[in-house]
C-alpha cells in the first residue's frame, strides 16, 4: 500500500509541476512581457528562428482561456499514460513534442506562429487510442476505451476548421503519439 501512495504522489508531483510551470509562464508572459514570449518561443514554420520554438511552444498560450482549455485534458490523458509508467509519460511527451513541432515547422503556414499544449494533448490521445495495436494488453484496451469515451470529439481537431487554431499541431501531435506507441511497443517486444 505504501508503494501505491508513493507512485500516486510521484504522478501528482510531476503533473502538478507541469501545470504550475504552465501557469507561471502564462502569468509572466501576460502580465509582465505583454505576450512577447509567444513570438520568441513559438514555432515559426519554415523559418530558422522557428526551430527553437519546437521545445518552447507547448509551454506558451495565447490567453488564460487558451491555457484553461488545455489543463484538464493534459492532466487526464497524461495521467492515463503515467499509470503504465512515468517513463512512458516522459517518452511519449518528448516524442510528441518533437514530431508535432517538426510537423508544424515543415507544413505550417508561412508567417504564422504556433503555440500551446494542444499538440501534446493530441499526442497523448493518439498514444492512448492506438497503443493497444502495438502492445496488446487488457490495460491498453481499457485506456483506449477510456480516452475515446472522454475525448472522442478531439479527433475533429486534426482537420482544418478555425484559422486561429493550429490543426497542424493537432494532426502532427496525434501522429507523434501513434509513433511513440509504436516505438514503445517495439521496445517491449525486444525486451
For 74-91, the pLDDT digits (tens) are 999 999 999 989 999 999
- 3-state secondary structure at position 163: coil
Which residue from 115, 116, 109 is spatially nearest to 163, judged by alpha carbons? 109
Note the pLDDT of residue 159.
Answer: 86
Q: Where are the domains of the chain?
A: 3-190
Residue 85: the pLDDT is 93
pLDDT tens digits, 21-61: 999 999 999 999 999 999 999 999 999 888 999 999 999 99
**Closest-CA residue to 63 (of 27, 19, 104):** 27
Q: Is the model's pLDDT at 67 over the cut of 90?
A: yes
Question: Residue 189: pLDDT above 80?
Answer: no
For all residues of the chain together, what is the average pLDDT?
94
Residue, of 163 and 55, whose pLDDT is higher: 55
CATH architecture of 3-190: Up-down Bundle (1.20)
> In the predicted model, is pLDDT for residue 1 greater than 80?
no
Q: 135 with 184: CB under 8 angstroms?
A: yes
pLDDT at 99 over 90: yes
The per-residue pLDDT for range 112-139, each reduced to its tens digit, is: 999 999 999 999 999 999 998 988 889 9
Question: Using 50, 70 and 90 to split pLDDT, how confident is the model at 163?
Answer: confident
Amino acid at each position: 500500500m505504501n508503494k501505491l501512495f508513493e507512485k500516486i504522489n510521484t504522478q501528482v508531483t510531476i503533473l502538478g509541476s507541469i501545470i504550475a510551470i504552465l501557469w507561471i509562464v502564462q502569468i509572466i508572459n501576460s502580465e509582465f512581457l505583454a505576450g512577447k514570449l509567444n513570438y520568441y518561443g513559438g514555432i515559426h514554420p519554415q523559418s530558422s528562428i522557428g526551430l527553437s520554438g519546437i521545445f518552447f511552444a507547448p509551454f506558451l498560450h495565447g490567453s488564460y482561456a487558451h491555457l484553461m482549455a488545455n489543463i484538464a485534458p493534459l492532466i487526464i490523458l497524461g495521467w492515463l499514460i503515467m499509470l503504465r509508467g512515468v517513463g512512458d509519460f516522459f517518452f511519449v511527451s518528448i516524442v510528441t513534442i518533437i514530431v508535432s513541432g517538426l510537423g508544424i515547422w515543415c507544413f505550417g503556414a508561412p508567417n504564422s506562429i504556433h503555440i500551446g499544449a494542444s499538440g501534446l494533448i493530441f499526442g497523448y490521445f493518439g498514444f492512448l487510442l492506438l497503443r493497444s495495436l502495438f502492445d496488446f494488453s487488457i490495460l491498453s484496451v481499457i485506456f483506449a476505451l477510456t480516452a475515446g469515451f472522454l475525448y472522442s470529439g478531439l479527433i475533429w481537431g486534426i482537420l482544418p476548421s478555425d484559422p486561429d487554431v493550429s490543426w497542424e499541431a493537432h494532426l502532427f501531435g496525434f501522429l507523434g503519439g501513434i509513433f511513440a506507441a509504436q516505438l514503445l511497443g517495439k521496445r517491449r517486444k525486444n525486451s
